[in-house]
Amino acid sequence: MVSATATAVALSCLMAGAPAVARSRAADPSHDRVPAAAAAQRQHPVAAVPLPRPRPESAPQPASREQTKDAARDEGTEGGKEGAKEVKAPAPPQSSACRIALTEEIAIAPSIPPIKGPGACGGDDLVRLEAVVLPDKRRVAVTPAAVMRCTMASTVANWVRNDVAPLVVRLGSPIAALDNFDSYQCRGRNNVAGAQMSEHGRANALDVRGFKLADGRMIELTDRTQPRDLREAVLHSVCTHFSTVLGPDSDWYHEDHIHLDLAERRSNYRICQWDVLDPLPKIAPLMPAVRPDDAPPRETADAEEEAKAGTKEGAKEGTKQEAKGEKAAGRAGPRGAAEPDARKAAPSEPSSGDAAAAEAEDPEPATPPPPPQPAPAKGGKKKHKSKS
């Protein structure tokens, strides 16, 4: 009982002394707490609880919770904005050598984003060719604007600047526009479903109908009424600049336009198929044209016909001669057979008058007539009858 009472008293004193110690610490922050804690531990062994050391005055003051939240919110917002900027505005790709060389002094051809698909369609380094700038600063519009690769646009611009513009000057009016029939289009060759990919699907081709002059005239390259020398000059120029040229008489798909592309083939193989056709006659001739004098003779046909005709005539003549010989042989046979009978019937000693008459009728009695021969024609007829 005494020990229990002593324990209760000690606990009550401890509970009463704890608030006083706390008040004293709050009133005097600079008070050395270590000796007090050691004294409390010596006086009250049950309350020996270690306490943290006071924060040094030179240490930085911790930020409040509100300040920490505001800083975290600001950092998150800035990081999100920077991330969004990186996604929306990626670093621009490096310009190609063609793009750097194709300046506004040569052509108006702004760059466009790459085209990917469907399938193998599309390409990189694409431009929209709107006009070609001539050396005298005049512009030749491409109507409508053509979508193609930079290399193809550069080749078209050089062709128009260096070849087409000087050629059209002879017509009395400068060139004003290039008629674009087709450029980029995702399709097979000749618009045939399932065919091999066309160069139009790779943005590497251009179809041209003709040129428009400043005075309003339209020069179509497949028009037969246009000057032939002009169309031939254009033919030679396009076959020099482009690796593929298809026009009239290449196939029936290119009878009204000229196809140009820069397809790459083995050994730098090139295709140039375009026939410059002459104008058609206004009225069709009723009779065939006269054979020119300088035309080669028809020796082979004439010789064959003459040989056939000669063979037939020779066969007919031979047949006629054989028939005449057969008739002559048939006539001589009966006469030769009748003469011996007449001689037998004559007297053994004829008179002088009868001898003279016999010499007159038969001047050469020493040569006997040829023996009769059977006619082959009659024998053939008999054999034919026996066969039938």
Contacts of 206 (CB under 8 A, 6+ apart): 146, 148, 152, 156, 180, 182, 183, 259, 260, 261
The confidence score (pLDDT) of residue 239 equals 96
Does some domain include residue 133?
Answer: yes
The answer to whether residues 117 and 181 touch, using CB atoms and an 8 Å cutoff, is no
Domains in the chain: how many in total? 1
Does some domain include residue 366?
Answer: no
Does some domain include residue 309?
Answer: no
DSSP secondary structure, 146-166, as one string:
EEEEHHHHHHHHHHIIIIIHH
The answer to whether residues 218 and 199 touch, using CB atoms and an 8 Å cutoff, is no
| Longest Cα separation, the chain | 225
CA distances from 36 to 49, 88, 153, 350 (A): 12, 65, 93, 211
Does some domain include residue 114?
Answer: yes
140: helix, strand or coil: strand
The confidence score (pLDDT) of residue 263 equals 93
Task: Give residue 241's identity as a one-letter amino acid code.
Answer: H
DSSP symbol at 181: E
Does some domain include residue 369?
Answer: no
Does some domain include residue 131?
Answer: yes
pLDDT string in tens for the chain (388-residue length):
445 566 666 666 555 555 554 455 545 544 444 455 555 555 555 556 778 888 787 777 776 677 777 776 766 655 555 555 555 656 666 889 999 999 999 999 999 999 998 888 999 999 999 999 999 999 999 999 999 999 999 999 999 999 999 999 889 999 999 999 999 999 888 778 778 889 999 999 999 999 999 999 999 999 999 999 999 999 999 999 999 999 999 888 899 999 999 999 999 999 999 999 988 877 766 777 788 888 887 776 566 677 777 777 666 666 766 666 666 555 554 444 444 444 444 444 444 444 444 444 444 555 566 666 655 554 444 444 434 3
The answer to whether residues 187 and 222 touch, using CB atoms and an 8 Å cutoff, is no
The confidence score (pLDDT) of residue 75 equals 64
Dist CA 329 CA 373 (whole Å): 7
The confidence score (pLDDT) of residue 367 equals 58
Does some domain include residue 207?
Answer: yes
Q: Taking Cα atoms as reference points, which of 252, 148, 264 lies closest to residue 206?
A: 148
- Residue 134: give the domain boundaries: 97-221
CA atoms within 13 A on the CB side of 203: 23
Does some domain include residue 250?
Answer: no
